[in-house]
């Protein structure tokens, strides 16, 4: 065998029967070859099996090689491709390379040429894997030498970005030890991060009240002012998209899929606490912290309700009030859309071009949040996404076949700025923390509010003075607890039952890097057409 495992080759050529000697040669070298005679057959095979490389003829009847590549990238953007062609035209090669081929061969080809092309692909993968291991060990040593307790918020954001990139970079790494080491490091990192947030968050709140933005990171309440309002003030059309419950590592998984159509500019912000929809998303749309919303707009504020569709039902109202306060009321109108299911998303896709005359289109997509919560209740989803890497893969598969992807492609042809962000991330809950409280205590797993709350301070941040965290204080003795790291709250009654039920589920509301450090992405079309 040429490698640690048998490599699988898909070979698409309309004259595949004439290539049997080439196929036998490759099989003698230890490869498994699946021959097909058309682009359609190649796509069908890719839907059934996983391959390590695709050999494809540039000139085939029906769906040609380059056309097949376009469809292929929708199925597996990372599959190496060797293009086999009779043409040596420079324009053809440029087009092929633009479609991210790995290598190409000029016909006629002999079996040794094909073998060497495949070997180059596989050797490159081995070299990349070994280099990745060396690079990660070097990064780990650098991280271990950092004085985490001495980091300011800028240092923590930079570190969070590096770690999230490695989350994605280690996906599919053959070295299981690397992934284990990375996971262990990330868990330890969150312990230091929660201590940092516990001491610094009240100072961030104070800097908001005192209008000293340089002393803190961007917060949820700053997102529209920072990323949307300046474009409106400059007379630009803006599409503002909030993808509920999208982590930074998950965005890094999606971003390469958009680089063909957009120039991408990234910024980062920290979610307010609790990292839960009623607080963080309302803060984005209102430009206010929870206590400010509660005091200034008691008719719009809802701290908790069981229904996701109603607890944030005043987002449009909050957004309009914020834009008026910033002096950037959309001159040509505002469209606000909250999208929960495929039918609503498809309807938005069909209508998206009709909104092109509006100054601002705001859209909220709830799919990732629904997927994250549904995973804990659905055995099939648990099998499909048993860990964070698999969840990223499932999310990427959803995205590439989603109306949201189609909407973004449509927006790439409009002369408009698109801003994408999220309201909070999620953490994989692994450890149960016992919490005590009254019967009317909120039911959330990563945060709770009520009277007489008590939890282990090693597992939770206890907010005894809600005003210190800019949280509503509408009752005598009201307090909050926020879960640290990967803990989740369970009551003493039926503790072990609920511990088993929620272990390994994605949760949010507490204090972790995954929940708090989030992307703000500005997309500018590469070729706007009006």
Do 193 and 153 touch, CB atoms closer than 8 A? no
Judged against a pLDDT cut of 80, whether residue 164 lies above it is answered with: yes
> pLDDT per residue over 318-365, tens digit each?
999 999 999 999 999 999 999 988 899 999 999 999 999 999 999 999
* Per-residue pLDDT at 57 exceeds 60: yes
Q: Across residues 290-317, what is the average pLDDT? A: 80
Tell me: pLDDT of 184 over 70. Answer: yes
Cβ partners under 8 Å of residue 311, min gap 6: 277, 278, 302, 304, 305
CA-closest candidate to residue 118, choices 5, 4, 11 = 11
- Condensed to tens digits (0 to 9), the pLDDT of residues 127-139 reads 667 777 778 888 8
pLDDT, position 271: 98
pLDDT of residue 39: 83
DSSP state of 215: G
Q: Cis ω on the peptide bond leading into residue 330 (within 30° of 0)?
A: no
Yes or no: say if 178 and 136 are a contact pair by the CB < 8 Å rule. Answer: yes
How sure is the predictor about 83, in pLDDT bands with cuts at 50, 70 and 90? confident
Residues 465-486 have pLDDT tens digits of 999 999 999 877 889 999 999 9
Predicted confidence at residue 477, as pLDDT, reads 82
Mean pLDDT of 134-162: 89
Q: Is the whole-model pTM more than 0.85?
A: no
What are the residue ranges of CATH 3.40.720.10 in the chain? 217-426+515-525
pLDDT tens per residue across span 396-434: 888 998 999 999 999 999 999 999 999 999 999 999 999
**Residue spans in the chain of domains classed CATH 3.40.50.2300:** 8-125
Both structure tokens of 237:
């059309």
- 184: Cβ contacts below 8 Å, ≥ 6 apart: none
Higher-confidence residue: 343 or 373?
Answer: 343
Number of C-beta neighbours around residue 476 at 10 A: 6
**Averaged pLDDT of the chain:** 87
pLDDT of residue 412: 94
pLDDT of residue 2: 44
Residues present in the chain in total: 530
89-128 per-position pLDDT tens digit: 545 445 444 446 778 888 888 999 999 988 888 877 676 6
Q: What is the pLDDT of residue 73?
A: 65
Task: Please answer whether residues 478 and 466 qualify as being in contact, where contact means their C-beta atoms are separated by less than 8 angstroms.
Answer: yes
Q: What is the mean pLDDT of residues 480-508?
A: 92
User: pLDDT band at residue 62, thresholds of 50, 70 and 90?
Assistant: low
Residue among 224, 334, 244, 208 nearest 287 (CA): 224
Structure tokens at 256: 């390469």
**Per-residue confidence (pLDDT) for residue 64, from 0 to 100:** 59
More confident position, 299 or 99: 299
- HSE of 130, CA atoms in CB hemisphere, 13 A: 5
CA angle 187/219/308 to nearest 5° reads: 80
- Under the banding of pLDDT at 50, 70 and 90, the label for residue 157 is very high
Concatenating the DSSP letter of every residue in 83-137 gives EEES---HHHHHHHHHTT-SEEEESS--HHHHHHHHHHHHHHHHHHHHHHHHHHH
Return all residues near 515 (Cβ < 8 A) that are at least 6 apart. Answer: 271, 275, 424, 425, 426, 427, 446, 508, 509
**pLDDT of 3 strictly over 80:** no
Query: How much of the chain exceeds pLDDT 90, in percent?
Result: 57
510-528 tens-digit pLDDT: 999 999 999 999 999 986 4
Assigned superfamily of 8-125: Response regulator (3.40.50.2300)
List 364's β-bridge partners, or say none. 242, 338
CA angle 505, 508, 512 (to 5 degrees): 105
> Which CATH class for the 217-426+515-525 domain?
alpha beta
Quote the pLDDT of residue 370. Answer: 77
Share of the chain above pLDDT 70, in %: 89
pLDDT of residue 262: 93
């Amino acid at each position: 065998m040429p490698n640690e495992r048998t490599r699988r080759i898909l070979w698409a050529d309309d004259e595949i029967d004439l290539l049997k000697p080439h196929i036998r040669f490759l099989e003698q070298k230890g490869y498994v070859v699946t021959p097909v005679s058309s682009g359609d057959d190649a796509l069908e095979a890719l839907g059934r099996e996983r391959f390590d490389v695709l050999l494809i003829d540039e000139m085939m009847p029906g769906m040609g090689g380059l056309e097949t590549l376009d469809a292929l990238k929708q199925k597996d953007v990372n599959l190496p491709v060797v293009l086999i062609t009779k043409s040596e035209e420079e324009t053809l090669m440029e087009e092929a390379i633009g479609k991210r081929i790995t290598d190409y061969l000029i016909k006629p080809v002999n079996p040794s040429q094909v073998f060497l092309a495949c070997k180059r692909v596989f050797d490159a993968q081995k070299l990349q894997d070994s280099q990745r291991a060396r690079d990660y060990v070097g990064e780990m040593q650098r991280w271990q030498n950092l004085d985490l307790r001495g980091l300011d918020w800028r240092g923590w954001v930079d570190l969070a970005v590096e770690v999230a990139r490695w989350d994605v970079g280690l996906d599919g790494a053959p070295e299981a030890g690397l992934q284990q080491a990375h996971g262990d490091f990330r868990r330890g990192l969150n312990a230091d991060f929660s201590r940092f947030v516990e001491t610094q968050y009240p100072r961030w709140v104070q800097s908001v009240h005192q209008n000293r933005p340089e002393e803190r990171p961007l917060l949820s309440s700053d997102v529209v002012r920072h990323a949307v309002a300046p474009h409106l003030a400059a007379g630009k059309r803006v599409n503002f998209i909030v993808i509920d419950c999208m982590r930074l590592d998950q965005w890094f998984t999606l971003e390469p899929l958009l680089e063909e159509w957009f120039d991408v500019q990234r910024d980062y912000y920290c979610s307010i606490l609790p990292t839960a929809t009623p607080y963080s998303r309302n803060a984005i749309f209102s430009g206010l912290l929870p206590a400010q919303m509660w005091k200034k707009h008691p008719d719009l504020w809802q701290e908790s309700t069981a229904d996701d569709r109603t607890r944030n039902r005043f987002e449009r109202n909050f957004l309009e009030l914020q834009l008026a306060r910033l002096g950037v009321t959309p001159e040509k109108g505002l469209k606000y859309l909250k999208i929960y299911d495929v039918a609503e998303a498809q309807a938005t896709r069909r209508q998206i071009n009709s909104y092109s005359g509006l100054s601002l289109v705001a859209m909220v997509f709830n799919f990732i949040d629904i997927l994250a919560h549904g995973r804990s209740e659905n055995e099939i989803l648990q099998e499909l996404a048993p860990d964070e890497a698999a969840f990223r893969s499932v999310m990427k598969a959803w995205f590439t076949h989603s109306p949201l992807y189609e909407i973004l492609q449509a927006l790439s042809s409009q002369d408009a700025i698109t801003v994408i962000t999220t309201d909070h991330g999620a953490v994989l809950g692994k450890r149960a923390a016992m919490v005590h409280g009254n019967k009317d205590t909120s039911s959330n797993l990563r945060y709770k509010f009520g009277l007489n709350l008590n939890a282990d301070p090693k597992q939770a941040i206890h907010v005894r003075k809600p005003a210190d965290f800019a949280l509503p204080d509408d009752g005598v003795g009201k307090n909050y607890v926020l879960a640290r790291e990967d803990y989740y709250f369970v009551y003493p009654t039926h503790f072990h039952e609920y511990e088993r039920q929620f272990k390994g589920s994605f949760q949010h509301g507490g204090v972790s890097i995954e929940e708090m450090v989030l992307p703000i992405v500005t997309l500018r079309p590469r070729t706007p057409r009006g």
